[in-house]
C-alpha cells in the first residue's frame, strides 16, 4: 500500500454481521445451521458433557430469557455472572441478551473487597454464581458482602437455580426489542496498573468485531474451535463465544485449563483451531503426551491476550506444525482490533500484531495528537465499530477518547507502510532513562530469544542519576540456566547499551491476570526490595 504516515482508515465493512443484537444473532444462526453443534463441553473432569446444536441453544436461551422476565427482572437490569467457564455461562449470556438485560462479567477469583467493588461499580441487581472456586465458597463470600452492596437483590446458583428456572419455564412472555447500540456487557479491565475499569460494550460492537475476528482467522461452518479464554474475559464471552456463533463455528470452551485435557479436546473432538494465551501453549508443548497425539485435524492456532515474542511463535509453529496467528486488542475494543491474516508472510506473522480488522481505523500519534511517520513509535488509537460506549466513570470516559472520538489505547506502537502495527510497550510502562524513552516490550522481545529464558518482564526501578534503570525479571527455561552476568554479557553483544538491563532477577513464576498478562505493578516493590531501592515510581505507574 505504501503508507507514509501511521494512519489506516478502515472502509471495508462486513454487512453480514453489522447492526445486529446478540439475541437476534442467536436466532439467525439457528435458522442457518439448526442441527450443527454450536457449543460443546467434553473431555474435561468436574463438568458434565454438553452438546448443544444451534437450534437447541436458541430454544433454551429463549426459555431462560422468559423465565428471567417472569421473575420480575427488567430489561436494563445488571446481571452479574461470577463463575469459571461452564455451559450455563453461555446459555445465560444469550438469555440475558434476549431479555434486554446487561451482563456484568466478574472474575471468579475475586475476593470480598474486589467483589464488592465490581458489584457496586456496575449497580448489579442479580448475581449467578458457581458453587466454589479454589476451595472458597462463593455463596459465603456473597453473604459477607451483602451489607456493602445495596443494589444486589437476587442471588442464584449458576447450576441448581438456573436448571430450576429452565425446568419451570412455561411462559410465552414477549421478549423486548433490543437494538444493536444498546448496552449488553460490562467487562472489567485486567487492572494490571491499578483499579479495574468497567468497560461498557454494546450488542452491535460485540457482534461485529467477534464475527470479523473469526472471519479474519478463516473460521466458519465446519470448523471446531477450542478456546481457553475465561468467559469473564472479553476474549471468552465478548469474542470467542459470539464470534463462533455468528459464523457457524462450533465452540469448545475449556472449563479450567489443564494441558492434558486441552490436548484431549483437540484430539478427540477433531478440532480445527485453538485460541489461547501463550502460557497455555507453553504448558501443552511441555506436556509429555504431546508427541503421541493425533492432531491432524488442527490447521490453525491463534494466540493473544498478552505480548507474543517472535521466537515463541516460531517455536509453536515448529512444535504443532500448523499456522500460527496473533493479534492485538483490548477490552475497550471488544477484544480484537488487528490481526495477522492466514497466508501472511513470516515477517508479518512473527514481527507484527497484524492489520486492522475490516472497518477498523488505526493511527499512531505523538503526545500532541499528531500522526507519526511510519516506523516512529507513538500512542495507538482506534476508531470503528468495536469501540466501547465508555466507562462507568464519566471522567475516565472523557480521558479514554481523543478530541476526534478515537479510542486511546494507552499502547505504544509503530505502523509499517503496509498498515501492520507492532506493539512496543504500554504508555504507562514506558521507561525514561536519562531522557531516553525505552519500551519494555521491545527489550522483552530480544531477551526471550535467549535459550535459557522462558519469560521476561522489564520494569523501571528508581535511580538517582538516570531517573530510572531497567530491571529484567526472568523466568528461566530450565533449572541449570545461565547466571545474570552471563546473560548481561549476551545482551551487550546484541543491543545498544541503554537497552541492556541494569538489574537481572530470576523468578519461578510471574504474577499474571487470567488472560496471561504479567502484573508488573506486583513486581515493582519486590524488585525494589531485592535490590535495596526505594519503592517510589518516577514514571507515575500506579500500585
Mind listing the pLDDT tens digit for each residue in 85-107?
Answer: 999 999 999 999 999 999 999 99
Average pLDDT of the residues in 241-261 = 96
Instruction: Tell me: pLDDT of 413 over 90.
Output: yes
Give the model's confidence band at 436: pLDDT under 50 very low, under 70 low, under 90 confident, else very high.
confident
From the CB of residue 192, how many other CB atoms can be counted at a distance below 10 Å? 21
Instruction: Tell me: pLDDT of 50 over 50.
Output: yes
pTM of the shown model? 0.84
Q: What is the pLDDT of residue 534?
A: 77
Residue 376: phi and psi, rounded to 5, are -100, 130
**What are 288-315's pLDDT values in tens digits?**
999 999 999 999 999 986 667 778 888 9
How is the chain split into domains, by residue range?
A: 15-415, 438-530
What residues pair up with 326 in beta bridges, in sequence order?
303
Nearest Cα to 459, choosing from 351, 353, 541, 366? Answer: 541
**What are 140-161's pLDDT values in tens digits?**
999 999 999 999 999 999 999 9
**What are 475-495's pLDDT values in tens digits?**
999 999 999 999 999 998 888
The Cα–Cα gap between 230 and 537 comes to 32
> 15-19, 24-28, 131-135, 189-193: which range is least confident on average?
189-193
Instruction: Tell me: pLDDT of 540 over 80.
Output: no
Instruction: Tell me: pLDDT of 257 over 70.
Output: yes
Q: What is the pLDDT of residue 191?
A: 53
Helices (H), 122-202: 138-145, 160-167
**Cell 503426551 found at:** 289
pLDDT, mean over the chain? 91
- Better-scored residue on pLDDT, 75 or 194: 75
From the CB of residue 500, how many other CB atoms can be counted at a distance below 10 Å? 19
CATH top-level class for 438-530?
alpha beta
- Under a CB-based contact definition with an 8 Å cutoff, are residues 280 and 256 in contact? no
Instruction: Tell me: pLDDT of 137 over 70.
Output: yes
**Above pLDDT 70, what percent of the chain?**
95
How wide is the angle at C-alpha 193 spanned by C-alphas 105 and 277, nearest 5°?
60
Q: What is the pLDDT of residue 208?
A: 96
Up-side HSE of residue 422: CA atoms within 13 Å toward CB?
22
**8-state DSSP, 131:** S
**What are 325-337's pLDDT values in tens digits?**
999 999 999 999 9
Q: What is the pLDDT of residue 14?
A: 63
CATH superfamily of this structure's domain 15-415: ANL, N-terminal domain (3.40.50.12780)
Reduced to 3 states (helix: H, G, I; strand: E, B; else coil), residue 279 is helix
Q: What is the pLDDT of residue 16?
A: 58
Average pLDDT of the residues in 378-398 = 94
Residue 318: phi and psi, rounded to 5, are -65, -40
- Under a CB-based contact definition with an 8 Å cutoff, are residues 217 and 227 in contact? no
Q: Which helix (H) or strand (E) holds 311?
A: helix 310-320
- Per-residue exposure over 353-392, b if at least 16 CB sit within 10 Å of its own CB, e if not: bbbbbbbbbbbbbeeeeebbebeebbbbbbbbbbbbbbbb
In angstroms, how far is the first alpha carbon of the chain from the final one? 43
Q: Which of 182-186, 227-231, 496-500 has the highest mean pLDDT?
A: 182-186
Amino acid at each position: 500500500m505504501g503508507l507514509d504516515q501511521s494512519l489506516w482508515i478502515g472502509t471495508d465493512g462486513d454487512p453480514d454481521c453489522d447492526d445486529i443484537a446478540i439475541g437476534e444473532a442467536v436466532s439467525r444462526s439457528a435458522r442457518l445451521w439448526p442441527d450443527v453443534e454450536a457449543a460443546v463441553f467434553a473431555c474435561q473432569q468436574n463438568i458434565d458433557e454438553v452438546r448443544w446444536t444451534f437450534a437447541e441453544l436458541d430454544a433454551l436461551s429463549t426459555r431462560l430469557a422468559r423465565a428471567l422476565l417472569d421473575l420480575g427482572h427488567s430489561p436494563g437490569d445488571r446481571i452479574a455472572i461470577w463463575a469459571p467457564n461452564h455451559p450455563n455461562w453461555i446459555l445465560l449470556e444469550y438469555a440475558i441478551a434476549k431479555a434486554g438485560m446487561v451482563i456484568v462479567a466478574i472474575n471468579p477469583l475475586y475476593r470480598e473487597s474486589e467483589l464488592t467493588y465490581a458489584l457496586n461499580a456496575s449497580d448489579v441487581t442479580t448475581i449467578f454464581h458457581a458453587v466454589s472456586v479454589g476451595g472458597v465458597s462463593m455463596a459465603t463470600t456473597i453473604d459477607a458482602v451483602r451489607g456493602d452492596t445495596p443494589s444486589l437483590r437476587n442471588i442464584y446458583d449458576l447450576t441448581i437455580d438456573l436448571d430450576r428456572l429452565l425446568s419451570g419455564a412455561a411462559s410465552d412472555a414477549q421478549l423486548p426489542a433490543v437494538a444493536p447500540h444498546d448496552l449488553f456487557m460490562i467487562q472489567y479491565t485486567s487492572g494490571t496498573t491499578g483499579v479495574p475499569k468497567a468497560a461498557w460494550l454494546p450488542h452491535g460492537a460485540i457482534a461485529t468485531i467477534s464475527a470479523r475476528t473469526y472471519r479474519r482467522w478463516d473460521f466458519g461452518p465446519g470448523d471446531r474451535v477450542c478456546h481457553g479464554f475465561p468467559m469473564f474475559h472479553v476474549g471468552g464471552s465478548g469474542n470467542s463465544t459470539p464470534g463462533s456463533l455468528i459464523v457457524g463455528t462450533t465452540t469448545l470452551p475449556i472449563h479450567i485449563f489443564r494441558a492434558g485435557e486441552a490436548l484431549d479436546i483437540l484430539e478427540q473432538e477433531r478440532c480445527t483451531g485453538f485460541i489461547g494465551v501463550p502460557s497455555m501453549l507453553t504448558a501443552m508443548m511441555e506436556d509429555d503426551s504431546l508427541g503421541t497425539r493425533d492432531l491432524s485435524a488442527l490447521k490453525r492456532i491463534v494466540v493473544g491476550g498478552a505480548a507474543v515474542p517472535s521466537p515463541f511463535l516460531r517455536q509453536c509453529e515448529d512444535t504443532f506444525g500448523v499456522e500460527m496467528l496473533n493479534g492485538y486488542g483490548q477490552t475497550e475494543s471488544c477484544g480484537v482490533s488487528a490481526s495477522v491474516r492466514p497466508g501472511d508472510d513470516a515477517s508479518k506473522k512473527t514481527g507484527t500484531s497484524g492489520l486492522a480488522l475490516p472497518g477498523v481505523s488505526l493511527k499512531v500519534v505523538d503526545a500532541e495528537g499528531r500522526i507519526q511517520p511510519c516506523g516512529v513509535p507513538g500512542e495507538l488509537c482506534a476508531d470503528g465499530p468495536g469501540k466501547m460506549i465508555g466507562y462507568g466513570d464519566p471522567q475516565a470516559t472523557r480521558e479514554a477518547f481523543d478530541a476526534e472520538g478515537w479510542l486511546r489505547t494507552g499502547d505504544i506502537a509503530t505502523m509499517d507502510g503496509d498498515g501492520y502495527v507492532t506493539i512496543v510497550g504500554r504508555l504507562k510502562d514506558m521507561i525514561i532513562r536519562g531522557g531516553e524513552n525505552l519500551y519494555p516490550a521491545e527489550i522483552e522481545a530480544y531477551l526471550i530469544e535467549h535459550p535459557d529464558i522462558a519469560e521476561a518482564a522489564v520494569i523501571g526501578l528508581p535511580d538517582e542519576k538516570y531517573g530510572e534503570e531497567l530491571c529484567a525479571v526472568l523466568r528461566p527455561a530450565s533449572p541449570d540456566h545461565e547466571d545474570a552476568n552471563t546473560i548481561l554479557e549476551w545482551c551487550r553483544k546484541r543491543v545498544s547499551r541503554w537497552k541492556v538491563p541494569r538489574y537481572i532477577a530470576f523468578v519461578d513464576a510471574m504474577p499474571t491476570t487470567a488472560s496471561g498478562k504479567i502484573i508488573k505493578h506486583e513486581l515493582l516493590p519486590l524488585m525494589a526490595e531485592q535490590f535495596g531501592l526505594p519503592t517510589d515510581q518516577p514514571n507515575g505507574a500506579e500500585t
